[in-house]
Amino acid sequence: MVLLTFSLFFSSCDPKDLDKILGTAGSALLTDADISSGLKEALDNGVKVSVQKLSATDGYYQSAYKILLPAEANKVIDKLKFIPGFENLQEEAIKRVNRAAEDAATKAGPIFFDAIKGMSFSDVTNVLMGPKNAATNYLHDHTYQSLYGEFNPVIMNSLNKFGALDLWSDAINTYNQIPFITKLNPDLGDYVTNKALDGLFSLIEKKEYGIRTDISQRTSSLLKKVFAKQD
């Protein structure tokens, strides 16, 4: 009799309603540990892919996250492009700046992974059920200062290694010798550090959006179960 009742109930359901019922039943089987492990797995994967992509040669330089020179640089370039030795100033400086960012990106992984491991169940739940960029926002809030502290000295060293600081310093000093112009002294290291981090978080946000909206990007049974809950 019970089986007959259930059969009649399900056969009379609209297919969409049935999907919702079955989905709710499946999500009810999730434990707190499942939810925590699933979200952290998604974050680990997104961070790993993002860091590997941007830290590779041309990861910044030949991608949508390419770092351009600060606005002040256009004044310098316009004045110096006809001076011998500075003909290719703009592209050469951009290339060296992006090489520095790629060099520094290798430092990001451990900082992100520590933040992910430290998430409480409340953090996990808020992120899972939050907006499409909730995980990215969480990581930004909990890692940006640490990342800046790691990135900036590496970027400064990398800028030196690739000759970008010398190139920029030569350009600025030459520019500042031109009569009747406003002297410039931008902090290239700070600028590149912030732009490098902007690109990193932008890519992580893209990865997060993908796993939240595209079922095919949920590459394990646990990810499928956990993110079905936010669907």
Question: How many residues can be counted in the chain?
Answer: 231
- What three-state secondary structure class fits 120? coil
Measured CA to CA, the distance from residue 152 to residue 36 in angstroms comes to 32
Count each helix (H run) and each strand (E run) in the chain, helices first.
11, 0
**pLDDT value of position 13:** 47
pTM as predicted: 0.76
**pLDDT value of position 185:** 65
Cα–Cα distances (Å) from 43 to 3, 30, 46, in that order, read 42, 18, 5
- What three-state secondary structure class fits 133? coil
Other beta carbons less than 10 A from residue 39's beta carbon: 27
In which residue ranges of the chain is pLDDT below 50?
1-13, 15-27
* Domain residue limits, the chain: 1-30, 32-230
Cα–Cα distances (Å) from 98 to 23, 50, 184, 203, in that order, read 46, 16, 22, 16
Q: At what angle do helices 221-230 and 32-55 cross, to 10 degrees?
A: 110
Measured CA to CA, the distance from residue 32 to residue 186 in angstroms comes to 49
**pLDDT value of position 109:** 92
Closest CA to 101 of 141, 143, 71, 68: 68
Tell me the two tokens of residue 191. Answer: 């600028």
